[in-house]
């Protein structure tokens, strides 16, 4: 789907699209690719946009790896909720301090077995039970 949207070429363009009231522009901010230098500028210069960076379906692994360290739990939660979230990042997020992030990791189909095993001991029983259920679904 990303290939049907023109590439975003600057941080300013990303922000304009994201803040637009035009649904087509807003959608483009979520689906259009950006060159890696634009991604790095966005994270460096506009950390207030990190949630929306995580929301963009073309965010490269290098960017997601930085976003899982974001101080805002909502950014980490958004990364954990991505269908394409790599198992290595889900493994890191299994130890997240926020329960919403850990709960998302526990239910994610790509969460690796070792992370699920760690989540069996989670202090919140909902997370432990979700991890137990996911473990029974693994081959």
Q: Quick: pLDDT tens for 25-75.
A: 999 999 999 999 999 999 999 999 999 999 999 999 999 999 999 999 999
Task: Tell me: do 8 and 37 sit in the same domain.
Answer: yes
- How high is the pLDDT of residue 13? 98
Task: Tell me: do 94 and 55 sit in the same domain.
Answer: no
Residue 44: domain span: 1-67
Q: Considering the domain boundaries, does residue 30 fall inside one? A: yes
For the chain, the average pLDDT equals 97
The pLDDT of residue 130 is above 70: yes
**Residue 10 · residue 32 · CB < 8 Å:** no
Please state the domain count of the chain.
2
Beta strands in 30-101 (DSSP E): none
Q: Considering the domain boundaries, does residue 89 fall inside one? A: yes
pTM metric for this prediction: 0.94
Task: Tell me: do 54 and 96 sit in the same domain.
Answer: no
The pLDDT of residue 2 is above 60: no
Task: Tell me: do 59 and 96 sit in the same domain.
Answer: no
Q: Considering the domain boundaries, does residue 79 fall inside one? A: no
Q: Considering the domain boundaries, does residue 76 fall inside one? A: no
Establish how many alpha carbons lie within 13 A of residue 19's alpha carbon, considering only the half-sphere containing its beta carbon: 8
- Summarised one tens digit per residue, pLDDT across range 9-18 is 999 999 999 9
Task: Tell me: do 14 and 48 sit in the same domain.
Answer: yes
- How high is the pLDDT of residue 4? 87
Task: Tell me: do 21 and 60 sit in the same domain.
Answer: yes
The pLDDT of residue 112 is above 80: yes
């Amino acid at each position: 789907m990303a290939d049907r949207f023109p590439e975003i070429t600057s941080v300013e363009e990303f922000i304009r699209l994201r803040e637009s009231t035009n649904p087509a522009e807003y959608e483009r901010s979520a689906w259009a690719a950006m060159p890696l230098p634009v991604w790095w500028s966005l994270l460096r210069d506009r950390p207030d946009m990190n949630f929306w960076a995580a929301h963009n379906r073309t965010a490269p692994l290098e960017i997601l790896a930085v976003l899982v360290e974001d101080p805002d739990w909502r950014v980490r939660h958004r990364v954990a909720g991505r269908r394409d979230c790599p198992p290595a990042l889900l493994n890191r997020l299994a130890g997240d301090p926020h329960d919403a992030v850990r709960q998302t990791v526990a239910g994610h189909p790509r969460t690796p077995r070792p992370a699920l095993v760690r989540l069996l001991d989670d202090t919140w029983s909902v997370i432990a039970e979700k991890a137990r259920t996911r473990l029974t679904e693994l081959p």
